[in-house]
Amino acid sequence: MSSVNVLLPQQATILDITEETPDIKTLRVVGKDGLPFDFMPGQCAMLSIPPLGEAIFSITSSPTCRECLEFSIKDVGKVSGALHSVVPGQQIGIRGPYGNGFPVDEMKGKDLLFIGGGIGLAPLRSLISYCFDHREDYGHIDIVYGARSPADLIRKGEVKESWAEEPDTDVHLTVDAEFPDWDGNVGFVPTYVEELGFKPENKIAITCGPPIMIKFVLQALDKLKFSPDQVITTLEMRMKCGVGKCGRCNLGPVYVCKDGPVFTLEELNALPAEY
Amino acid sequence: MAERNLDNIKIIREAVKQDLLGGRISQVLGWEKGHYWWQSRPLFARSEADLEKLTWDSFCGINLSRYLLEELKDHEKVGVLVKGCDARAFNRLLQDNMVKREQVILYGLPCPGMLDYNRLFEEAGAVPSGIAENNGTVILKTGGGDREVKREDVMLDKCRECVYPDPAAYDQMLLSPQGERKAAGRFKPVEELEAMPADERFAYWDKELSRCLRCYACRQACPFCSCRECFVEQESPRWQGRAYQPSENFMFHLVRAYHGTGRCIDCGECERSCPVNIPLQELNRKLIKDINELYGDYEAGLDAEAEPPLLTYRPDDPAAFSEK
Amino acid sequence: MSAALNENTAGWEPLIVSFCCNWCSYAGGDLAGTSRMTYPANVKVIRIPCSGRINPMFVLRAFQRGADGVLVAGCHPGDCHYTSGNYQSRRRLSAFKRLVEFAGFEPERFEVRWISSSEGDKFAEEMTEMTEKIKALGPNRKMRDARWQSVI
Amino acid sequence: MKKVIAREKLPELWKSLSAQGPLFLPVQEGPVVLFQQWQEGAKINLEATNTAVPPKDLFLPREETYMQYRCKGKELEVIPAEEVKPAVLFGVHPCDLSAVELLDKVYIEQDPADELYKIRRENTTVVALSCTEPDPFCFCNDFAINPADAPGADVVAHLKNGSLLLEAGTDKGKTLLKQAEDLLEDGSGQSFEPGEVKTADFGLKLEGLPENLKNRFDDSAWDELYKSCLGCGVCTYVCPTCYCFDVEDFGHEAGGERFRCWDSCMYGHFTEMAGGHNPRPGRKERIRQRFMHKLQYYPETFGQIACVGCGRCLRSCPVNLDIVQAIQTFGGETVEQC
C-alpha cells in the first residue's frame, strides 16, 4: 500500500510572473499535468522553496481557470521574498488545497458586495472571477477596492476594464490620498463603503484586507445594518501544516487552515479574538 | 507537611506589609505554598489577603529577580524577597540596565540552602508525610517513624556549593545572616572533566546533551539570559537549527554557557529547571573558573559596581593561546 | 563554500577556516601573496573587520559545516585599528578556547594568532603550521552536522 | 493469550525482541528514565512510574525527516523518506497509553489522517505495563484511569511476584507473544486480575469544566494565573497529550531535507507572522492557549479533556505552574494537600 504523506509537496513550475506593484507579484503556476489539484475560491496552497521552507498563500485564480493556478504574493517574509526572485520555468513545491473556501452555493441568488484592500484582493479575486464565470447564479455585484496609492492597486487592468464591463456590476476604486492622474475616489475603504450606502437586503458582503481595514469595514457594515451572517471575511494566521494539526492557527475549537480561513462574522464572533 | 518557622514568616510579612499597604510599592514578589509541602511557588502579592499566603521555607528555590523584567512594565515600584542568589541576580540585571535600582525594594533573606525533594524521598525510601528541621538536621516523617538526616545531604545541588547565602544587595535585611560558606567542591566536577582525554570528554557531553529537549527552561529561568531576542530565535542568520542533532545540541549549550561568561551568578536555576537533568552548571562553572584563573577572581552579581571581566581588559592580560 | 567544505575521505585534506582582521592579518595574507610566499590551499580566509568582531557562533558554525580547524588572526595587542578590539577579543577568545576544549575539542582545533600587515612571512608560517597540526590530528567529526555532508 | 516470564529472564526477552526490530523501553540514563532503544548493557528500569519524557516520541518523533530535496538549475526534485520499520514499545503506563489514544483522534481519526503518525502507530506494537506504585505527582485517578490496568494495549503486562505476566489484547499483541514463544511460559494459571492503585487525588471537578470555560476566555483569573510562567516550553514537551509541531528545512540551494519537529505554543515565535503581527504576543495569551486547548477546545471537538494526570507538568515546571492549578482556578475543587 502506498500511503500519502499530506506534508509532502508535489512539483510545480512557474509559468510566468507579473509585477503588480513594487512589492506584489503574481505567479502563474502549473503542476506536472495541468492543475496540481482541484479547489474552490478562498482555498489556499502551501508553496515551498527549499531551503527557506514553506508558506501558505491564498489562490488568486478561479477554479474555472483550468490552465494554471495564480498567486498574488506580497514580499513580507522569508518565503514570500524568495518567491519574488523566482524565474519562469523554475520549479517549486506545492501542496493543497487547504481550507474551506467561500460558500459559493449559499451565496447563489444573492447580490454580492466585495470589499478589498491592497493585497486583500488576492483571495477575493478568485471568488469574483468564479462569480463572473457563473454570472447567472448571482445578483448584482459591487466591488469596492482600495489601496494606499494608485501604484498599490493590483490587477489594475482587469479591475478597471474587464470587471467594470461585466453586466450588472459596479466597480468602486479608492486610494488613501490625492495622487496626480487619479480621478477616482480618495479616502479609506471603510469610509467609502459607508458613503456608497449599500443596502443590506438580499446582499452578502465579502471583505478582505489588512486587519485594521477589516476592523473598520465591519463597523461600517454594521452601521449599514448588515447582520453578522451577511458578512464574510477571511483570516490570516501563521500556519505550518495546513491540515489542522501543527497548532499555530488554532482559535478555540477551530483550526483556521482547515476550518477557515473563510468565516462569517457570526462565526467569528463566537471565536476567541486572537487573530 | 513542611514545618515552617512561623516567627520568621511573621517578620517577613510585617516588613513587606508596611510598604505594600503604605503604598511605597504596588506589588511584592515572594513565595507561596504549591500543591505539595515540598513545593513553594512564586507569589505576586498586591493585597493583605495575598500576603496571608506568603511563605518562607526550605523549598523557596525559585529565583524571583528574573520576574522583574516583566513586572516592572506594569508596576512603578515593586518589592522582592531576595535570597543570596536572587540578590546577585538582581545586581546582574542592574549591570545590564534591565532594571532600575530605585524601582525595587529588596528584602534580604539569608538562605540556609534549599532542599531537594528527590533526595528527601530517597532518604525516606518513600514520600514522607512531611519534614521538620532542627539545627542542621532534617527530620523525615514516614509511616515507619521519624528519620533524621543531615541537612547538607538533602539540599539542592545548586545550594550545596553556594558560597554567598546572604544577599549582597538589600534595602532591608530581614533575618540574621548565615555568613559566608566554604564551597571547596564547586569546581571539582569541572576539574574531573578537565582531566579526561578530549575524546572522552566529548563523548560525555555528547551523551548528556543528547537528552536536551530544547525546551529552553534553562534560558528562561536564568538571570543572565535577559536578551530581548535570543540568538536561538534569530531568523537571519539562523544560528540555531531546530533539529535534535548533536551539532545543534552543542551549538545551543556552548553558546548559552558562553553568553554567561563573567555574568553567570552560579545560582543553578538552569540546572534545577532542566527536566532531563543536564549538568549545565558544569559548563557555567568551567567559565567562572577560567575567568578567575586568567583575569582574577570575580563573582558575578556580588558587586554591581565591579566591572564584568569581559567588558574590560588590561594591556598585559594573559591569553589562553600562544602570543608568540 | 559548501563545495569547499566537501570532504574526500580517500585523499583527505584538512579544511582550515581562518577569520582574519581586515587591517592586519588579512593585509599580512596579501603581503604573503604578493611576496610569492606559499602557504597551504587548505586555508580558507574570511575577512572580518576586527578580531573583536568574532562571534563564537562563527567558529562553531564553521565546525558544523565541515571545518577541521579554525584560526582567528588579529592585530598584535596595542595595534588595533579600533583601539581595543583585540584586547577585548583576547579575553573573550581565551575563555571561548577553553570552553571549546572543555566540550571535547582538541586544543589545536581552535587557535588565535596575532599577525601584523607587515608579517607576510608569519602569516604563511602560521597557516602552514596550523595545517600541519590538523593534518596530524586527522579529520574533525566533533560538532560536524552529518546532514550537511549528506546533501552535498 | 496469557504468558508469563520470570524477571531474571527478561534480558533474554529484550534481546530476542530487539533481534526482530527496534525495541523501545524505559532506560535509566543517569538521573532520569527515558524511553530509549534497547541495546546491550542498557539499564532497563521497569520500576520507574513515569519517564521524564512521554513515549509520544515513538509516534510523533521530536524530529522526523520526511523528504529530501535536490535542486539543479530550475529543477526541484522531491524524494520522500523511506517508510519506518515495525517497532515494539515496551512499558507504557496506562496514563501514557490513554494519551496516545487522545493523539490518535487528532492524527488518525480526524480527516485528513497524518500518514507519518499513522504508519508509526500501525507499525508499533505497544506493550503496556500496569503501575504498582504511583509516583508522588501522579493524579490519573482524577481522570478515571486505573493505573493497574491498560485496556486497549496490544499486550498488557503486570509485574507480579517476581514475574512479568503478559496478556495479548490484539492480534498484533498475539503475534508479538508468539515471536517470543520460546522464552515465555503458559500463564493461564496466573491471576491477571488488575489490582487497584491509588494516586493522589486532587478532587478535581472535571464535569462541566469545558462548558464552564467556554465563557471564560476573558476572565480576569488569567491575569493572575500566567504571572509566574517563565515562558519556557517544558510543560508542552513533557506533556503526553501536546502535539504541536514545526516544519523546517535543512540544507542549501542545491539540496537538503525537510523535517518536522516538536514545537510549543509557549514560544513567542510560534504564532508570529511574517509581517511581525503576533496574535498571541505575551505569556498570558500563550498560557491561556495551552490550558484552554487542553480543557476546552480539545474537549469541544473530541468530547474529552486532553489531560491524563501523568503529573509530568507538576514535576517539571520550574515554577510549579501546572494544569492542576489551572483546573482549580477555573472551577475544579481542591483538596488541600499540605
List, for residues D154-179, the tens digit of each pLDDT value: 999 999 888 999 999 999 999 999 99
**Res. D133 pLDDT band, cuts 50 70 90:** confident
D14 touches chain B (CB under 8 A): no
Residue B59 confidence (pLDDT): 96
**CB within 8 Å: C152 and D68:** no
Give the count of Cβ contacts less than 8 A between chain B and C: 117
Question: Which residues, other chains included, contact D253 with Cβ-Cβ below 8 Å and sequence gap of 6+?
Answer: A51, D71
Planar angle of CA A90, A94, A100, nearest 5 degrees = 145
Which of B1, B217, B243 is the closest to D318 by Cβ? B217
Q: C84: domain CATH number?
A: 3.40.50
Contact between B189 and B201 (Cβ < 8 Å): no
pLDDT exceeds 60 at position A2:
no
Say whether the ipTM exceeds 0.90: yes
Asked whether residue C76 is assigned to any structural domain, the reply reads yes
Set of chain C residues whose Cβ sits within 8 Å of the Cβ of D68: 151
Q: Could you say which DSSP state residue D83 is in?
A: P
Tell me, yes or no, if D261 comes closer than 8 A to chain B by beta carbon.
Answer: yes
Say if C1 is an interface residue toward chain B (CB within 8 Å): no
Q: What's the gap between Cα B219 and its chain centre?
A: 12
**Amino acid at residue number C144:** R
Residue in chain D nearest B40 by alpha carbon: D320
Residue C4 lies in a domain: no
pLDDT in tens, A39-78: 999 999 999 999 999 999 999 999 999 999 999 999 998 9
Q: What's the burial of C95, exposed, middle or buried (CB within 10 Å: 0-12/13-18/19+)?
A: buried
Which residues in chain D are closer than 8 Å to B37, comparing Cβ atoms? Answer: 337-338
Residue type, D267: Y
Per residue, the 3-state secondary structure of D248-308, as one string, reads EEEECCCEEEEEEEECCCCCHHHCCCCCCCCCCCCHHHHHHHHHHHHHHHHHHHHCCCCCC
Residues of chain A with Cβ-Cβ distance to D252 below 8 Å are 51
If you count residue pairs, one on C and one on D, with CB atoms under 8 Å apart, how many are there? 18
Distance from chain centroid for Cα B211: 22
Q: Which three cell numbers stand for residue B238?
A: 539562523
Q: Residue D332 — very low, low, confident or very high, per pLDDT cuts 50/70/90?
A: low
Cis peptide upstream of residue A211 (ω within 30 degrees of 0): no
Classify residue C93: in a domain, yes or no: yes
pLDDT for B28-77, tens place per residue?
Answer: 999 999 999 999 999 999 999 999 999 999 999 999 999 999 999 999 99
- The verdict on residue C49 lying in a domain is yes
Question: For residue A80, which phi and psi values (nearest 5 degrees)?
Answer: -65, -35
Average per-residue pLDDT in chain D?
Answer: 92
Domain count, chain C: 1
CA of B254 vs chain C CAs: smallest distance (Å): 8
Average pLDDT score over residue span A246-251: 94
Interface test with D, best of B38, B46, B118, B220 (most D CBs within 10 A): B220
pLDDT tens-place string over residues C54-86:
999 999 999 999 999 999 999 999 999 999 999
The confidence score (pLDDT) of residue D194 equals 75
Query: Which domains does chain A show, CATH number per domain?
Result: 10-98 (2.40.30.10), 111-234 (3.40.50.80)
Q: Nearest Cβ partner of D63 from B34, B67, B243?
A: B243
B112, D52, D269, A43 alpha-carbon torsion, rounded to 10°: -160
Residues contacting residue D66 through CB under 8 Å, at least 6 positions apart: A5, A7, A8, D80, D81, D116, D258, D259, D260
Confidence of residue A38 (pLDDT cuts 50, 70, 90): very high
State the nearest Cα–Cα gap between D256 and chain C, in angstroms.
5
Residue A1 confidence class, pLDDT cut points 50, 70, 90: very low
Angle at B200 between CA B198 and CA B204, to 5 degrees: 115
The helix or strand, by DSSP H or E, that contains position D176, with its residue range, turns out to be helix D171-179
In this structure, how many other beta carbons lie within 10 angstroms of the beta carbon of residue B306?
14
Distance from CA of D41 to the nearest CA of A (A): 37
Q: What percent of chain D has pLDDT over 90?
A: 78
Q: What is the pLDDT of residue D34?
A: 96
Q: Which residue of D has its CA nearest to C2?
A: D252
Residue C33 DSSP SS3: helix
Quote the CA–CA distance of B256 and B253 in Å, as a whole number: 5
Q: Which domain holds residue C39?
A: 16-147
What cell numbers appear for B130 in the block? Answer: 512531611
- The per-residue pLDDT of chain B, averaged, comes to 94
Nearest CA to C102 out of B208, B12, D331 is that of: B208
Amino acid D335: pLDDT: 40
The cell for C18 is 581562518
Q: Side chain identity at A260, as an amino acid letter?
A: G
The mean per-residue pLDDT over the stretch C87-108 comes to 97
Residue D161: per-residue pLDDT? 84
- Measured in angstroms, the CA of A54 and the nearest CA of chain D are apart by 8
**Angstrom distance (rounded) from CA A226 to CA A200:** 5
Question: Do residues A122 and A70 lie in contact, with contact meaning Cβ atoms separated by under 8 Å?
Answer: no
Put simply, whether C151 touches D (Cβ < 8 Å) is yes
Q: What's the pLDDT score for residue D220?
A: 92
A186 shares contact with chain D (CB less than 8 Å): no
Q: If pLDDT is split at 50, 70 and 90, which confidence band does D196 have?
A: confident
In this structure, is residue C3 part of a structural domain?
no
Q: Is C12 on the interface with D (CB under 8 A)?
A: no
Tell me the HSE value of D313 on the side-chain side, using a 13 A CA sphere: 24
Residue-wise pLDDT tens digits, D268-293: 999 998 888 899 999 999 999 999 99
Q: What is the pLDDT of residue D336?
A: 43
How many whole angstroms from its chain centre is CA B57?
A: 16
Radius of gyration of chain A from its Cα atoms, rounded to whole angstroms: 18
Residue C64 placed within a domain: yes
Residues in chain D: 338
DSSP-based three-state secondary structure for D216:
coil
Residue D201 pLDDT > 90, yes or no? Answer: no
Q: What's residue C4's pLDDT?
A: 44
- Which D residues 244-263 touch A at CB under 8 Å? 244-253, 256, 258, 260, 263
Which amino acid is present at D94?
Answer: P
E-assigned strands of chain B?
27-33, 40-45, 54-55, 78-82, 104-108, 130-134, 137-142, 145-150, 172-173
pLDDT for residue C32 is more than 90: yes
Q: The cell 522582592 sits on which residue?
A: B80
**Which of D64, D228, D257, D327 is the mutation pick for testing B, counting most B CBs within 10 A?**
D228
Distance from CA of B62 to the nearest CA of D (A): 7
Asked if residues A64 and A133 have their Cβ atoms less than 8 Å apart, the reply is yes
Least confident of A99-103, B45-49, B125-129, C121-125: B125-129
Interface mutation target, options C143, C147, C148, chain B, most CBs of B under 10 Å: C143
Could you tell me if A208 and A44 are in contact, meaning their C-beta atoms sit under 8 angstroms apart? no
> What nine digits make up the cell of B57?
521555607
Burial of residue A263 (CB within 10 Å: 0-12, 13-18, 19+) is buried
- Environment class of residue A193 by beta-carbon count within 10 Å: exposed (0-12), middle (13-18) or buried (19+)? buried
Please tell me if residue A1 touches chain D, with a CB cutoff of 8 Å: no
Q: What is the model's pLDDT at position C151?
A: 59
Instruction: Return the pLDDT at D193.
Output: 79
Task: Provide the pLDDT for residue A249.
Answer: 94
Sort out which chain A residues have CB atoms less than 8 A from D248's CB and list them. Answer: 53
Tally Cβ neighbours within 10 Å of residue A81.
Answer: 17
Distance CA(B252)–CA(A8), nearest Å, equals 29
Looking at residue A236, its pLDDT comes to 87
Residue C52 lies inside a defined structural domain of this protein: yes
3-state secondary structure of A262: strand
- Residue of chain B with shortest Cα separation from D269: B233
Amino acid at residue number D140 = C
Asked if B215 and D233 come within 8 Å (Cβ–Cβ), the reply is yes
Among B254, B291, B321, the residue with its CB nearest the CB of C103 is B254
The SS3 assignment for B259 reads coil
Distance from CA of B21 to the nearest CA of C (A): 48
Residue ranges with strand state E in C22-120? 43-48, 69-74, 110-114
The torsion region of residue C75 among left (phi > 0), alpha (psi -120 to 50) and beta comes to beta
Enumerate residues 6+ apart whose C-beta is below 8 A from A178. Answer: A186
- Going by C-alpha positions, the residue among D313, D266, D299, D263 that lies closest to residue D285 is D266
- Across the interface, whether the CB atoms of B220 and D320 are under 8 A apart is answered no
Per the CB < 8 Å rule, is A245 touching D116?
no
- Of the pLDDT bands very low, low, confident and very high (cuts 50, 70, 90), residue A3 is low
**Domain regions of chain D by residue span:** 2-186, 209-329
pLDDT in tens, B185-223: 899 999 999 999 999 999 999 999 999 999 999 999 999
Is the minimum CB–CB distance between D119 and chain A shorter than 8 Å? Answer: yes
- Is C6 at the interface with chain D, CB within 8 A? no
Mutate to test the interface with B, among C89, C98, C110, C126 (most CBs of B within 10 A): C98
Asked whether the beta carbons of residue A247 and residue D263 sit closer than 8 angstroms, the reply is yes
Residue that the C-alpha cell 515562558 belongs to: D231
Three-state SS at B40? strand
Whether C141 maps to a domain, the answer reads yes
Nearest residue to C73 via CA among C100, C52, C92, C96? C52
> Is A85:A97 a contact under the CB 8 Å cutoff?
no
Collect all residues of chain D within an 8 Å Cβ-Cβ radius of residue B67.
227-228
Q: What percent of chain B has pLDDT over 70?
A: 99
Phi-psi category of residue B216: left, alpha or beta, with phi > 0 → left and psi -120 to 50 → alpha: left
* Euclidean distance between CA atoms B235 and D211, whole angstroms: 40
Q: Which residues fall within 8 angstroms of residue C98, CB to CB, at 6 or more apart? A: B286, B287, B290, B320
What pLDDT is stored for residue B3 in this prediction?
61
**pLDDT for res B185:** 87
- Give the up-direction half-sphere exposure of residue D8: CA atoms within 13 A in the CB hemisphere: 0
Question: Three-state SS for A79?
Answer: helix
- How much of chain B exceeds pLDDT 90, in percent? 88
Question: Is D262 at the interface with chain B, CB within 8 A?
Answer: yes
Q: Which residues contact A145 (CB under 8 A, 6 or more apart)?
A: A114, A115, A116, A117, A121, A153, A159, A171, A172, A173, A174, A189
User: CB of D141 within 8 A of CB of D309?
Assistant: yes
